[in-house]
Structure 1
Amino acid sequence: MDAWGAAPERRKRPGVDPLKRISVEAAADLAARAFRNAGVGGRDASSAAEILALAEAMGIRTHGLNRVRDYVTRINAGGIDPAAEILALRPAPALRHIDGKDGLGPAVARRALDEAIGAAREAGIGATFVRRASHLGALAPYLYIAARAGFAAVVTTNTAPMIAPAGGRSPVVGNNPLGLVVPHPGGQHVLVDMALSVAARSRVRAAASQGAP
Structure 2
Amino acid sequence: MTEKAIRIESKQMQDVLYKLFVKYKFTKEKAKLMANVYTESTLMGVNSHGINRLPLFIEYVENGLVKIDAEAEKVETFGSIERWDGNHGPGIVNATKCTNRAIELAKLHGMGMVALRNTNHWMRGGTYGRQAADANCISILFTNTKPNMPPWGGKDSRIGNNPLVISIPREQGHVVLDMSISQFAFGKINDYKLKGEKLPYPGGWDNNNELSNDPEKILSNERGLPIGYWKGSALSIILDMLATLLSAGDSTYKIGLKEFETGISQVYLCIYPEVFNDKALQQKLINEIIDYTHNVEPMRFGDKTYYPGEQSSKIRAKNLKEGMLVHSGVWQKIMVLSA
In the other structure, the counterpart of 1:114 is 100
Partner of 1:37: 23
Paired with 2:87 and 2:177, the residues of 1 have a C-alpha distance of 29
What is the CA–CA distance in structure 1 between the aligned matches of 2:153 and 2:3, rounded to whole Å?
Answer: 41
Q: Shift in Å at residue 120 of structure 1?
A: 1.6
The answer on 1:188 being equivalent to 2:173 is yes
- For residues 95-134 of structure 1, the aligned pairs below 5 Å read 95-134=81-120
Matched residue SS, 1:101:
coil
Which amino acid in the other structure matches residue 21 of structure 1? E
Long gaps (5+) in structure 1: 1-7, 13-17
- C-alpha separation between the residues in 2 aligned to 1:188 and 1:172? 37
Question: C-alpha distance in 1, partners of 2:82/2:36?
Answer: 23
Q: Secondary structure at the match of 2:86?
A: strand
> What's the offset of the Cα at 1:33?
2.6
Determine if the alignment matches structure 1 residue 179 to structure 2 residue 172: no
| One-letter identity of the residue aligned with 1:133 | T
Q: What is the deviation of 1:58?
A: 1.2
Shift of 1:11: 7.0
The 3 A distance-change label for structure 1 pair 20 and 53 is closer
> Structure 1 residues 210 and 11, CA, compared in 2 at 3 Å: closer, same or farther?
closer
Cα offset for 1:30? 3.0
- 1:192 match: secondary structure: strand
Q: CA deviation at 1:103?
A: 0.8
Root-mean-square deviation (CA), in Å?
A: 2.2
1:22 aligns with 2:10: yes
Partner of 2:336: none
Q: Residues 93-124 of structure 1: CA distance to partner in whole angstroms, max 9, x if unpaired?
A: 42232211111111111111111111122222
Q: TM (normalized to structure 1)?
A: 0.83
Q: Does 1:169 align with 2:155?
A: yes
Aligned to 1:55: 41
Of 188, 196, 201, 1:203 maps to 188
Structure 1 equivalent of residue 322 of structure 2: none
Displacement of 1:83 = 1.4
What is the percentage of aligned positions where both structures have the same residue? Answer: 25
- What's the TM-score once normalised by structure 2's chain length? 0.54
Larger helix fraction of residues: 2
SS in 1 for 2:166: strand
In the alignment of these two chains, the number of paired residues is 198
**Who wins on radius of gyration, i.e. which is larger?**
2
